[in-house]
Chain A
Amino acid sequence: MHSYTDSGSKDTRSGFGAGLLELGRSNPNVVALCADLTGSLKMDAFAAEFPERFFQTGIAEAHMIGMAAGLTIGGKIPFTGTFANFSTGRVYDQIRQSVAYSGKNVKICASHAGLTLGEDGATHQILEDIGLMKMLPGMTVISPCDFNQTKAATIAIAEHDGPVYLRFGRPKVPNFTPADRPFVIGKADVLTEGSDVTICANGHLVWEALEAANALEAKGIKAEVINFATIKPLDVDTLLASVGKTGRVVTAEEHQRHGGLGDSIAQALAMHRPTPMEMVAVNDSFGESGTPAQLLTKYGLDAANIVAAAERVLQR
């Protein structure tokens, strides 16, 4: 059985807020912008402690992204905050031209990503954001798994010179990674060692993958769970080392199958080591209102679906 325990469920967005506050205290160049969702993004502590470094833009996401690009000219490190949908799809061209193509050191921080936003429904449940962002040249894309890792990733991206998309979520989920573990961009973490199947997961589905690994172990199947918090650049070395042992892969993510972690893994495997693979992801559909748990089940993203995918891939 995996050795990870939930130290008390917390929302990943609060990990972002905690990391941002710490950055505010340690790095005077860090500034933050928010488009009228300060409480939802957990940016209020930063805003209260550093009002001169906090920019409330109102409900104007396109302007917020452009303004962040401008703040880099003079050496500031801007962190923008809004929901994932409004952080990406709504402002794609602003990110493309003013941030990515211009090579600006902007950190685009996005909460309420994926289905687990819950009851607000499909207008707010973006499932395409990782694909949109990973296609941009030079963009780093990160989707951490819990409070601790989101906090660590928030701190780490301030040290990275270049645009970053950091994705996290709304609901309270198990917090199980070590509290003080530094985040290394581009490094995947092997959470459980196994020889039968490699499960590559990120975001909220890492915990589901660990639960799936327990269920598989009860059936005599040893799964190696790897947390691919960084989707781009992808840690191909860790992937290939694991697949060299297992020869079977399942990917799990709260995103469309098109454009997510799964297709980055599939591309790497197709080029370096063609391997039977199953993808646990949303299959070309929009979400809907419901509780996070109901939605993960209905759209086939929970631990039971990861177990089923592992069993399918083992029969190929």
Chain B
Amino acid sequence: MTPQLHDLPSQVRRDILRMVHAVQSGHPGGSMGCTEFFVALYFDILRHTPAPFNMDGQGEDLFFLSNGHISPVFYSVLARSGYFSVEELNTFRKLDSRLQGHPTTHEGLPGVRIASGSLGQGLSVAVGAAQAKKLAGDDRLVFTLHGDGELQEGQIWEAALYAGAKNVDNLISTIDANGQQIDGSTDEVMPMGDIGSKFAAFGWEVMHIQQGNDLDAVRNGLRDAIAKTGKGKPVCVVMHTSMGHGVDFMAGTHKWHGIAPSDEQLEAALAQLPETLGDYPA
């Protein structure tokens, strides 16, 4: 563990809020709920080479963000792990930026291997990448993240069926189970039932991370998931998080799914988040 690891979530949340505030658009809620996951993944779990970035990623673990709207946390962690400069975060959602509203390969941003935004497509892409690794004799792993609401897309279940049936066991898919989506709670919009049981029925090895906003719990959970790979089944991690975690007035509600904080709200939020590694210059 690097000394900075536990300093990162607070800084990443500051990045998220400042990026979204600057352009008064973007998706802070899900980003903040998944901050510990991204920090654990990029600073502890993934075996990866941030620079020079290689699209094919042979010999590296790969990550695909399927719920692309939480781009702020993705960009912050990519920058802070060395894929591109932290200063570039101030271009988020602005004209001529590589940091598009939703992640894309189109402008050549290092660290992004597929466009996402239209939901439900990332699991299929990850299955393809995982199969490519098997064909190449590459024993590294493929990770994905999905929203729980995203699981309402039918393509997810096409991909889940394939991965289970065809023993894609070099794949770890994490579900951000925050119980929220744009129109309200998932229970109000489209109750998801038992997500873990659904994946298990599709032939996946299923485990839970109950404390998805506890960095060490996420790290340990992902290690457990890695230990379950290579045994004939893809691995599904149901990770229980709180949308908007880290700022008291943003946590646990769908209301901050796609809303930017005002000047006053930003100030109040940043007051709850120590600047640990230094803010990127505005």
Does B88 make an interface contact (CB < 8 A)?
Answer: no
Q: Using known A-B contacts A63-B162, A66-B155, A74-B57, determine if residue A101 contacts B104 with beta carbons closer than 8 Å.
A: yes
Bound together, the chains give a CA A96 to CA B155 distance in angstroms of 15
Contact indicator B106/A58 (Cβ below 8 Å): no
CA distance A173 to B7 in the complex (A): 69
List chain A residues, Cβ under 8 A from B113: 73
Residues of B within 8 A of A96 (CB): 118
CB-based contact A62/B154 at 8 Å: yes
What is B's interface to A at a CB cutoff of 8 Å? 55-58, 62, 64, 104-106, 113-118, 121-133, 135-136, 138, 154-155, 158-159, 161-162, 165
Task: Give the shortest distance, in Å, between B107 (CB) and chain A (any CB).
Answer: 11
A67 — which chain B residues lie within 8 A by C-beta?
Answer: 124-125, 127-128, 131, 159, 162
B27 vs chain A, min Cβ distance (A): 17
**Given known A-B contacts A57-B162, A62-B158, A101-B104, A70 and B132 have beta carbons under 8 A apart:** yes
Q: How far is the CB of A37 from chain B (nearest CB, A)?
A: 16
- CB of A178 within 8 A of chain B? no
Could you say which residues of chain A place their CB within 8 Å of the CB of B118?
A: 93, 96-97
Contacts of B132 in A (CB 8 A): 70-76
Whether A66 and B161, one on each chain, are in contact in the complex, defined by CB atoms closer than 8 angstroms, is no
Given contacts A63-B127, A74-B135, A104-B114, 12 further A-B contacts (CB under 8 A): A58-B165, A66-B122, A66-B128, A69-B124, A70-B124, A70-B131, A73-B114, A74-B56, A75-B58, A93-B121, A94-B121, A97-B121
Q: Which residue of B lies closest to A98 (CB)?
A: B121
B131 contacts A69, CB within 8 Å? no
A68 interface hit (Cβ, 8 Å) = yes
Our pick among A53, A68, A69, A104 for the contact of B135 (Cβ within 8 Å) is A53
A52 contacts the other chain (CB 8 A)? yes
A residues lining the B interface (CB < 8 Å): 31, 52-53, 55, 57-58, 60, 62-76, 78, 93-94, 96-98, 101-104
Q: List 14 A-B contacts (CB under 8 A).
A: A58-B158, A58-B161, A60-B159, A63-B124, A65-B124, A67-B127, A69-B124, A71-B132, A74-B58, A74-B136, A94-B121, A94-B124, A98-B114, A101-B115
Q: Interface centre among A53, A58, A74, by most B CB within 10 Å?
A: A74
- Bound complex: CA of A65 vs CA of B118, how far in Å? 14
Partner of A75, one of B56, B105, B158: B56
B106 touches A66 (CB 8 A): no
Residues from chain B with Cβ under 8 Å of A69 in the complex: 114, 124-125, 128
In the assembled complex, the CB of B81 is this many whole angstroms from the nearest CB of chain A, namely 19
Q: Which of B117, B129, B133, B158 has the most CB of A within 10 A?
A: B158
For A63, the closest partner residue in chain B by CB is B158
Residues of chain B contacted by A52 (CB below 8 angstroms): 135
A74 and B58 alpha carbons, distance in the complex (Å): 6
Are B162 and A70 in contact, CB atoms less than 8 angstroms apart? no
User: In the complex the two chains form, what is the Cα distance from A290 to B64 in whole Å?
Assistant: 46
**5 A-B pairs with the lowest CB-CB distances in the bound complex, closest first:** A70-B128, A66-B124, A74-B132, A63-B158, A60-B158
Contacting pair B116 A97 (CB below 8 A) = yes
Q: By the criterion CB–CB under 8 Å, are B117 and A78 in contact?
A: no
Instruction: Select B57's contact among A60, A66, A73, A94, beta carbons within 8 Å.
Output: A73
A111 to chain B minimum Cβ distance, whole angstroms, is: 21
The answer to whether A60 and B161 touch across the interface, beta carbons within 8 angstroms, is: yes
A98 touches B136 (CB 8 A): no
Residue of B nearest to A94 (CB): B121
Give the Cβ gap from B156 to chain A, nearest Cβ, in Å: 9
Residues of A within 8 A of B161 (CB): 58, 60
Closest Cβ of chain B: how far from A107's Cβ, in Å? Answer: 14
- B127 partner, pick from A62, A70, A93, A97, beta carbons under 8 A: A70
CA distance A78 to B135 in the complex (A): 13
Distance, CA A298 to CA B125, complexed state (A): 43
In the complex, what residues of B have CB within 8 A of residue A72's CB? 128, 132
Minimum C-beta distance from B204 to chain A (A): 15
Instruction: Give A62 to B156 CA distance when docked, in angstroms.
Output: 9
Q: Which residues of A contact B106 (CB under 8 A)?
A: 101-103
In chain A, what residue has the closest Cβ to B129?
A70
Residue on A with the closest CB to B66?
A66
Which residue in chain A gives the minimum CB-CB distance to B160?
A63
* Nearest CB in chain A: distance from B160 CB, A: 9
Of all chain A residues, the one with the shortest Cβ separation from B58 is A74
- Residues of chain A contacted by B158 (CB below 8 angstroms): 57-58, 60, 62-63
B98 CB to closest chain A CB, in angstroms? Answer: 14
- Chain A CB within 10 Å — which of B118, B125, B138, B159 has the most? B125
CB nearest neighbor in B for A31 = B135
Whether A98 and B125, one on each chain, are in contact in the complex, defined by CB atoms closer than 8 angstroms, is yes
A94 — which chain B residues lie within 8 A by C-beta? 121, 124, 155
| Chain B residues closer than 8 Å to A62, beta-carbon distance | 121, 124, 154-155, 158
**Bound-complex Cα distance A82 to B105 (A):** 27
Q: A73 with B55: in contact, given A63-B162, A102-B104, A102-B105 (CB under 8 Å)?
A: yes
A55 close to B159 (CB less than 8 A): no
- Across the two chains, which residue of chain A brings its CB closest to B142? A70
